[in-house]
Structure 1
């Protein structure tokens, strides 16, 4: 039965190249969305599937699609910030936040899976792990968590490695924001605006001073103030997604090791300390209230 399923997927891929229409036209809903491929990608390793095996696959595939769209929207926002088109960039930010809310909501669905349900199919997952999601890594890289060691897990796939290395070498979203501040007249050194983009950026006192001016006089710098707050919105939603990830894993496997050889919950909890926009947090430490 498994062989028949795989053969069906292969046939679907072959016919979808032309989508069953001369010239590859897409005349129907099914053609446009390539449903013959999409709905045959949930190939379970049991036939019939174990209780929650299909749930597990669907949730993670849908999440990968949201991550793909999220990276696209962040890339567009970065391009528009580089062109001083802030209103357009903020529209993409709004969409990213809506995507983040969908990713967070997915944990609620996955939390309907109990430990007993997971035990029925966990053994077939082998060494696969969410840590191997290159879609997630693209999002982290564009948001500024530049850690080249994350690429090592993909070394057997040269195309993925090339794509990750290309994104690693690009300015992050926040790098473009800092270059925007420099164009708006704020004094930022070359070590901030012309640095090695492959390296993580942990903040700089000159950037903090620029943001302090903006936060102390928001009406005079409203566009930049609003931009900063939108960045913080995304940061907080990302942290909520990470927290809910930790909670979902702990609910099912406790503190046992993860399938990919990681320490499981302990490994995921370390990510809760990661931040993308260090300067914006430091500004809050420097503002005087009272």
Structure 2
């Protein structure tokens, strides 16, 4: 076995199939393929972090969550390369995409679900974009139906003796998380005495770092799309930039941001 055999480079490097003959289409394909590879690793790390928090193995959770944040940074910087493509460049091959869109990325949906941004519509076997792919649909549904990383963090706070409402410990995991004053108070206790609760304090900051990186990714996504297609409708049928802007307001770990006002 050599380097190429181990990495299956022949298969990887043969997976780009431009349809238009335009120079910039290869950039578009490689950008999205590499992003999906980073997402594959990101899901691997988020799953490991969630299991680690559930099992009170916080040192490993810190490692995997920190790595997840670094992966998000890679995804953020990928937009820098795509942004070198001008609107004229993109318009030359956009039609060959058909209805294909990053909006249909099943791995991205799993990432959002793992971070707590649940939406059952994306796992709907009738209307969801992954309905025709049983394996992908199963992965999306599993991510929807299990506790998120933040859900497990709140269960950990409860195990440590903090007062967490039962409605946040045992609920319908397919529903989006809603902020709770009692949960914010629990995190405030941690942040007011970091030396006493150092590992929980570090967990809170690791989660904040992760959401911060995710917010940057969303912003760069909006900025790059607007730079290239303006306010056109997205290839997947969404409103394009208008839809993406609504995602900027989503807060994954609300109490960790809210407590900063109260400190």
Task: Give the TM-score range, shorter chain.
Answer: over 0.9
Q: For the Cα contact (< 8 Å) 2:87–2:228, is it kept in 1?
A: yes
CA offsets, 1:225-245, max 9 Å, x none?
A: 111011111111101110000
- 1:179 is aligned to 155
TM-superposed deviation, 1:157: 1.5
Aligned pair partner of 2:86 in 111, 114, 119: 114
Partner residue of 2:105?
133
The one of 35, 41, 52 equivalent to 1:69 is: 41
User: Relative CO higher for 1 or 2, CA cutoff 8 Å, sep ≥ 6?
Assistant: 2
2:205 is the alignment partner of 1:229: yes
Per the normalisation by structure 1, the TM-score is: 0.87
Helix, strand or coil: the match of 1:155? coil
Residues 205-261 of structure 1: CA deviation (Å, up to 9, x unaligned): 221111111111111111111110111111111011100000101111111111111
What do residues 104-135 of structure 1 show as CA deviations (whole Å, max 9, x unaligned)? Answer: 11000001101111011001000111110001
CA RMSD in angstroms comes to 1.0
Equivalent position of 2:7 in the other structure = 33
Match of 2:190 in 1: 214
Structural mapping, 1:96-111, within 5 Å: 96-111=68-83
| Aligned: 1:192 with 2:192 | no
3-state SS of 2:177 partner: coil
The yes-or-no answer on 1:279 pairing with 2:252 is no
**2:46 and 2:68 in contact (8 A); partners too:** yes
The answer as to whether partners of 2:155 and 2:169 remain within 8 angstroms in 1 is: yes
| Matches for 1:133-152 after TM superposition, within 5 Å | 133-151=105-123, 152=128
Give the corresponding residue for 1:164: 140
The answer to whether the 8 A contact 2:45-2:64 is kept is yes
2:165/2:183 contact within 8 Å kept: no
Q: Structure 1 residue 285: deviation in Å? A: 2.9
Asked if 2 retains the 8 angstrom alpha-carbon contact of 1:51 and 1:120, the reply is no
How far apart in 2 are the matches of 1:56 and 1:218? 45
The question of whether the paired residues in 1 share the 8 Å contact of 2:66 and 2:210 is answered with no
Unaligned runs of 5+ in 2: none
Deviates more, 1:171-180 or 1:210-219: 210-219
How far apart, in 2, do the equivalents of 1:158 and 1:253 lie? 33
Aligned length: 259
Counterpart mapping for 1:259-274 below 5 A: 259-274=235-250
CA contact (8 A) 1:129 1:259 kept: yes
Kept in 2, the 8 Å contact 1:103–1:241? The answer is yes
